[in-house]
Amino acid sequence: MTSKTQKLLSLLDGQPVIPVIKITDAKDAVPLARALARGGLRAIEITLRTDAALEAIRRAAAEVEEAVVGAGTILNARQFEEASKAGSQFIVSPGITSQLLSAAADSPVPLLPGAITPGEIMAAREAGLDFLKFFPAEQAGGAAFLKALSSPIADVRFCPTGGIGAKNANDYLSLPNVICVGGSWVAPDEMVKAGDWAGIEALAREASKLRKA
């Protein structure tokens, strides 16, 4: 296990579900992060899929001490730097590029990059990465595919994301090569827009009860 993997795992702190969040209004970032943390999900991934994302990361990172704020959907070195400067404590990408690897090598902020195929996973392994995002999980073969990888590439572990919800999360968490899962079901868009922080806290509390087998 690399030092950056250890750092990333310490930030996630055994959390079974990492909320994957899309924020369209930065003012929602603080109450949303607080609701998730109250429910037991301190580590969150705010995706760079909206114009409000970087400001949302800044606010959550600065104002919610109990939260561990990460940035997701990072596609290049520029976004890596912007998200790090905004206060992200970890960076998540749907894939791996040489540019991203270079940015991560020069930064104290750990990278969780995505890989799907055995070739991509082996390339990441050669680059010293042994904890990867598996995305889009359901569309790429789901838990059965990851189970098949657990023997030939036994020293690489995953955070599968994509198509995962309360009903199938345990299919992944029961696998020996899965550390946690990522999912948006704990902070649905409609509940965020409605400001239903109590409802989101309740969903987070249920998700936090999921555990590795």
Catalytic residue numbers read 45, 133
Nearest to 167 by CA among 116, 210, 118: 210
Radius of gyration of the chain (CA): 16
DSSP states of 9-26 as a string?
HHHHTT-SEEEEE--SSG
Give the type of residue at 172. Answer: Y
Q: Could you give the CA distance from residue 5 to residue 88 in angstroms, rounded to a whole number?
A: 16
Q: What phi and psi values does residue 67 have, to the nearest 5 degrees?
A: -90, 150
Nearest to 164 by CA among 175, 154, 155, 153: 175
